[in-house]
Each structure stands twice: as structure tokens, then as C-alpha cells.
Chain A
Amino acid sequence: MTKIATREAYGQALVTLGAENPDVVVLDADLAKSTKTLAFKKHFPHRFFDLGIAEANMIGTAAGLATAGKIPFCSTFAVFATGRAYDQIRQSVAYPNLHVIIAATHAGITVGEDGASHQSVEDLALMRAMPNMTVFVPADAVETAGAVRAAVACDGPVYIRLGRSGVPVLHGDDFELVPGKAVEMRRGLDATIIACGLMVAQALEAAEQLAAEGIDVGVLNVHTLKPLDVQAIVNAAQRTGAIVTAEEHSIIGGLGSAVAETLAEHYPVPMLRVGLRDVFGESGKPDELLRKYGLTAEDIANAVQSLI
């Protein structure tokens, strides 16, 4: 299966978008080679701004550009975008509801060898709690292109969470990402795995493994963490009676929390959260880290089996 990193897809999507929309500008903080915004810089050098290693200033500058009708995409690693510049996102972007798009790469532990200082495990919690913010977590290259396009159509601030490592392409080119509308990747009766980002592919693999053991599991892909598709989640709970969430993020504040909140209010069913259990990551190969921190298809399958 073809694997493409969502950051690669982001870089390409920006170039396409840049040709279509002259108001799109791109800002980076000395990581253009890694975040893949370099492609945009090559095509549209006068609409690209490298702010240097100064993330707070990058977000503030983007806010100023947005007040004048520009559509700024800001990129750096997720840990710096949401951590280093949190208050700038809050005060200068989200509170005034400015249309700034924060497309953060290298999210989660699959950053790999750089270790915990560069692995964001809480960025979704931070961005999800921010009023006015829309939050996309694309599962593959096609969803990334869709999220970039959808972000331009959104009002107000947008966070797009992207990864460093290659992930399987799950959708055909005809897939259309509709913000706030979860995608039923697979229908099942015994339980539903609700996943986002690279964990969608792991969830599909888990469903295959479980099917071989006669367990019929659905997979719901929540590419938009906010606004959350409450109806799809409630429907899944009603239909299958058991929910496992899977995310490359802390189980506190991200997808697992969002789903738990939704079920507790609307349709409580037994659920388990697969994710980082309130810990930081460490150095290692992405696959090794996913195994060590319990984020593989086997881990998801085990969670389903313990639940039903």
C-alpha cells in the first residue's frame, strides 16, 4: 500500500492552493524543509515568510496579515506551534476569531528519534479547548488535501495536525472531506473503533484481525475533532454498544476525551481509550515507539476484546 506522510501531502496541497488563491500566504519558523512549506516558497517566494526561530512572532504576524484579508498558513512542529505560541494563538488569533490556519507537522510520537522534546502528545487537548478553533486530524494524504481546502473555506482559526512519517493512503482521489462529518470506514456490529490521524489505518488493521476471529467491528474516522460529529458517535454507540478510541495523543483532552464526553452525555456505553497514558514519548523508530506505547493494531484489537 502506498505510504505518504501527511506533511508531504500538505506541501503539495499548498502549491495547488497558492496557484488558485492569491490571498494565501505561508509562514514558517525555520522548518520549511521539514514541514514541506518549501515547495510553496519555491513557487510563490513573495508570499512566503520565514520568521526564523520565533514561533510567537510567526503567529502574531499571521494575525496581522489576516486582519487585512490574507489567508495565512503557519507551519512548524506541532509541539512548538501549540506550546511555544499558545498565548499568541489565544490572544491574537482565536479570541479575535481571525482566519489563521495553523498547519502543524511532526505531531505525536512518530516524530521518532528526536525524542520527547519534539513529540507533541497534548496539542489536540490545547487546540480543542480553544474557543473558535476548528481542529482537523487528517488520516492520510487525501484527507490532508481536503483539510487544507476546507480550512480555507472555514471562518476563524483552524488547526491541522500533520505527521512526519508515511501513512497508508486510505481514500480514493474522489474523496471529499466535509468538515465535522466523520467517515464510516467500515461498518460492524460488535463494537466501533473511533480513530483519528494515523491511528485510522491501525484501526482498520485491527478490524481485519478481529474479523478473522469472528468479531465484527466498525471503524469511524473522525478527521474533524472540532466540531465533533456527535451524531455519528452516538449512532455508533447505539448500533454496536461498545466503543474503543484510538489516537496518537494523550488520552487526556484529545479524541478519547471528546468521545467519552459525548457518550457520557448522550448515550453511555462501555468504552476504552487507546492512546498515550499521561506520559511523554522518547527517542526511537516510529514503529518501535508505537509498539512501546501501545498504539498498534494489536493494542486496539486487544482493547476491543477486553470490552466485549
Chain B
Amino acid sequence: MDMDQAVAELAEKARVIRRHIIAMLGEAGSGHPGGSLSAADIVTALYFREMRLDPSRPDWPERDRFVLSKGHAAPVLYAALAERGYFPVEELGTLRKLGSRLQGHPDMKKLPGVEMSTGSLGQGLAVANGMALAARLDGRDYRVYALLGDGELQEGQVWEAAMAAAHYALENLVAIVDYNGLQIDGPVSEVMAPEPVPDKWRAFGWHVLEIDGHDMRQILAAFAEARHTRGQPTAIIARTVKGKGVSFMENEVDWHGVAPKGEQIAQALEELA
């Protein structure tokens, strides 16, 4: 498949995933649209191009691993897993409902394809380190991807894990920062400025790439470069737009953790048609 066609197909898949995000949050009546939409292109690229997966064998030892460290973006993960065939797409409508496998934040014990239970921020990168170390111990060549929020970088454990990943030279590990610039209380630069983000990762010993997190070609190129990087882990700092794809949600801090209702759902789905 040539690259133009691959990019077009991934963009189409990302559109479908964004529609799922809106529909499932609308149905649930609560949840986190902003950070799910900002990560949709990255997660689509991972699940439909980059990662070595077999949805019929979620426990396949050779599979690549994805850790959604920013666990509140569960809808984007669920939509990707359903579209990839881990469970029926119809089940997305059960999000956040009693008895559902689609918990408000990902639960690895309930839903096939979820590699780690997350929700309390700052913890996913350390877990990804452990997965990457296990690959080395077992002589396996699987790769590990962790998606972090930019606000999440305020958690100290992220930097403990960043230090350790470089110390162990985990070249099979990629951390992606969904740098959408907003957190619950406002712009990250106002709440607790993380800048300069790329320099921080560089200083911690990582190979750092800065991309537009909605440009599929840049996303794929970054993953390709990470794959060929030796002796250190790769951090992809992906500039994104919170709420990307829905005009009234884009760059609006209030759409961090509020579900769309009625007309809002209709308009969002129309924009994503």
C-alpha cells in the first residue's frame, strides 16, 4: 500500500473513532471528550498501522503493548479496540454503565486488549518500563507505547520513570505526550507550566521528536524513527488540539470532562460525518 493511501485510510479510521467517542460519551452522559479527541489520530496510527497485534489473541506474548497512562481518555482506547475487533462495536454504548466492561477508566481485568488499568495519573510510564524490561529478559522484540497527557507531566512519578527508562536504555519503549495545552483547571502553562517539555525529556536521556499530533504522516514518521533508534527510549512530543474535530470543543478547557448532550451530540456528529 502506498503512503498516500495508508494515510487516507488512517484519517478515515480516526474520523470513525472520533464519532464513536462522541456517541459513547453522549450515551454515557459523563466522561472526557477533550483529551480523547486530541489523542484520536495518535491512537489510530498505533492500532491500525504501527503496533503488532492479534485481536483474536489478546494475550499473545509477542504483541506490542499500549499503556494509556492518561486513563481518562478511555473512550479513544475503547473505540480503537472495538474497531480493531477486540469486542463488538455495539458494546461501546455501555460505557460507564453498571456491569459494563467499559469502565470509566480502563480496567485490564475486564476488557480484552487493555494492557494496564489506569486512571490515577502519572503511573503508566513506570508500568511501560516494566513491560519493556520484561521483553528484554525474555528475549522478545515486542515494543511498548505509553500515552501521557501534558498535564500529567506534573506528576513526579513520570520523571522517576523517565530517568529509569533512559538508565536502562529501553530502546523498545516510546512515550507519546499528547500536548494539547489544557488541563481541568485551565491552560497547563498557567496551572503548572511544564515547559520546556522537549528539553526536559532530552535532559532525561531520551531521543525526542516533536510533531503535529494530527498530521498522520508526521505521526507515522515519528514511530518509524523511534523503531530505528538504538540505545535510548524515544519521546514523541505531539502538539495537539484538545477536542480536535468538534468545532465547539476545540481548545475549550470546559470540554475536558463534560459529555455532550442532545443538540451538541448531533452537531458534533455532523461535523465528523
Point out residues on A near B: beta carbons under 8 Å.
25, 46-47, 49, 51-52, 54, 56-57, 59-70, 72, 87-88, 90-92, 95-97
Contact = CB atoms under 8 A, between A and B. Distances in A.
B130 A91 contact: no
B164 interface: yes
Contacts of A25: 137
B129 A69 contact: no
A142 B164 CA distance: 35
B115 A57 contact: no
Contacts of B135: 68
Interface in B75-129: 107-109, 115-120, 122-129
Contacts of B263: none
A54 B133 CA distance: 17
A56 B132 CA distance: 17
B174 to A, nearest CB: 14
Given A60-B161, A61-B133, 7 more contacts: A49-B168, A63-B130, A66-B130, A68-B131, A69-B61, A96-B107, A96-B108
A91 B120 contact: yes
B160 interface: yes
B120 A67 contact: no
A91 B156 CA distance: 16
Contacts of A56: 122-123, 126, 156-157, 160
B11 interface: no
Given A91-B118, A92-B116, A92-B123, A68 B129 contact: no
A92 B134 contact: no
A69 B130 contact: no
Contacts of A67: 65, 108, 115-116, 127, 130-131, 134
A62 B163 contact: no
B131 A57 contact: no
Given A60-B123, A64-B127, A87-B120, A97 B161 contact: no
B270 interface: no
A161 B125 CA distance: 28
Contacts of A66: 130
Nearest to B157: A56
Per DSSP, are chain A's interface residues mostly helix, strand or loop, or mixed?
helix
Contacts of B2: none
Contact of A52 (B118, B132, B157, B164): B164
A25 B164 CA distance: 17
Nearest to B71: A91
A88 B117 CA distance: 11
Given A64-B126, A65-B134, A70-B134, A95 B117 contact: yes
B4 interface: no
Nearest to A53: B160
Contact of A57 (B107, B120, B161): B161
A65 B130 contact: yes
B185 interface: no
A59 B116 CA distance: 14
Contacts of A46: 137
Residue of B107, B108, B124, B129 most packed against chain A (CB within 10 A) = B129
Contacts of B129: 57, 60-61, 64
16 contacts: A57-B126, A57-B160, A60-B125, A60-B161, A61-B129, A63-B126, A64-B132, A65-B133, A66-B130, A67-B115, A68-B134, A69-B61, A69-B134, A87-B120, A90-B120, A92-B126
B201 to A, nearest CB: 16
A44 B65 CA distance: 27
Contact of A61 (B118, B138, B164): B164
Contacts of B132: 64
Given A46-B137, A64-B127, A70-B137, A57 B164 contact: yes
Contact of B137 (A47, A52, A63): A47
Interface string B165-194: 000100000000000000000000000000
Given A49-B133, A57-B157, A92 B127 contact: yes
Contacts of A70: 130, 134, 137
B127 A54 contact: no
Contacts of A49: 133, 168
Nearest to A97: B109
Given A54-B160, A88-B123, A91-B118, A60 B130 contact: yes
Contact of B127 (A47, A60, A69, A87): A60
A115 to B, nearest CB: 25
6 cross-chain pairs, A with B, having the tightest CB-CB distances, nearest first: A64-B130, A60-B126, A68-B134, A57-B160, A54-B160, A64-B127
Nearest to A46: B137
Contacts of A54: 157, 160, 163-164
A60 B132 CA distance: 12
A60 B117 contact: no
Residue of A51, A59, A64, A69 most packed against chain B (CB within 10 A) = A64
B127 A63 contact: yes
B164 A96 contact: no
A87 B126 CA distance: 13
Contacts of B160: 51, 54, 56-57
Residue of B124, B126, B157 most packed against chain A (CB within 10 A) = B126
A52 B157 CA distance: 13
